[in-house]
Amino acid sequence: MRFEGRVWKYGDDVNTDVLIPARYLNTSDPEELAKHALEDLDPDFIKEMRAGDIIVAGKNFGCGSSREHAPIAIKAVGVSCVVATSFARIFFRNSINLGLPILESAEATEAAERGDVLRVDLATGAIENVTRGVTHHAKPFPEAVMKIIAAGGLMNAIRDEVLAREATYAQGATA
């Protein structure tokens, strides 16, 4: 899985309350949540963001409330990947469960500036800053986690696995 997009850079301790404000938590509709992603942190984000863009942030990204709405909104608005120095534990797991690609790299976040173009290879952990001509590396995920992300989330991965087993079983029953 490879991504390329412009950087939207933010600092440390970006809270889920600014990723998707609490006043919008009366819905879990991804399209509706996407309309309000980061609006309290960066009002220009929704207006100027393009599908495939990449959020880059400092330490403890996604801290605060353990709401799944935050990675849902980020993914639904079209963010291809989030690169941060570190993620809050629950946001990290929610992102994997929902199929939002994330990588940790302090070097990549320090080197990137808003508007830079990044190329990210999730399988290898390579984060190339095309604008600055440098490449940094993050620890890639194990194969099992990559399957979850590639499937678009944990529920999709489980569904795919069940369907594959049913197909294998059906082939064996007709042979």
Same domain, 70 and 108: yes
The total number of residues written for the chain in this structure: 175
Under the banding of pLDDT at 50, 70 and 90, the label for residue 164 is: confident
Same domain, 19 and 102: yes
Picking from 42, 37, 47, 32, the residue whose alpha carbon sits closest to that of residue 16 is 37
> What residues pair up with 5 in beta bridges, in sequence order?
118
pLDDT of residue 66: 80
* Mean pLDDT, rounded, of the chain: 94
pLDDT over 90, % of the chain = 90
Same domain, 94 and 25: yes
Residue 51 CB contacts under 8 Å (≥ 6 apart), including other chains: 78, 80
pLDDT of residue 84: 98
Reported as a single tens digit per residue, the pLDDT across 52-64 is: 999 999 999 999 9
Same domain, 103 and 155: no
Reported as a single tens digit per residue, the pLDDT across 79-88 is: 999 999 999 9
Same domain, 109 and 167: no
Same domain, 85 and 167: no
CB count, 10 Å around CB of 92?
18
Under the banding of pLDDT at 50, 70 and 90, the label for residue 175 is: low
Least confident of 16-20, 50-54, 98-102, 160-164: 160-164
Reported as a single tens digit per residue, the pLDDT across 150-161 is: 999 999 999 999
Whether the per-residue pLDDT at 78 is higher than 90: the answer is: yes
Whether the per-residue pLDDT at 174 is higher than 70: the answer is: no
Q: Domain count of the chain?
A: 2
> Is the alpha carbon torsion for 55, 101, 129, 1 positive or negative?
negative
Once rounded to an integer, what is the mean pLDDT over residues 86-102?
A: 96
pLDDT of residue 79: 98
Whether the per-residue pLDDT at 171 is higher than 90: the answer is: no
pLDDT over 70, % of the chain = 98
pLDDT of residue 173: 66
Q: Which domain holds residue 169?
A: 142-175
pTM, two decimals, is: 0.92
Same domain, 87 and 162: no
Same domain, 159 and 129: no
Same domain, 19 and 58: yes
Residue 151 CB contacts under 8 Å (≥ 6 apart), including other chains: 99, 157, 159, 160
Same domain, 168 and 100: no
Q: Are 99 and 71 in contact (CB under 8 A)?
A: no
Same domain, 120 and 153: no
Residue 93 CB contacts under 8 Å (≥ 6 apart), including other chains: none
Q: How far is CA 55 from CA 3, 19, 138, 170, 171, in A?
A: 12, 11, 15, 44, 44
pLDDT of residue 93: 95
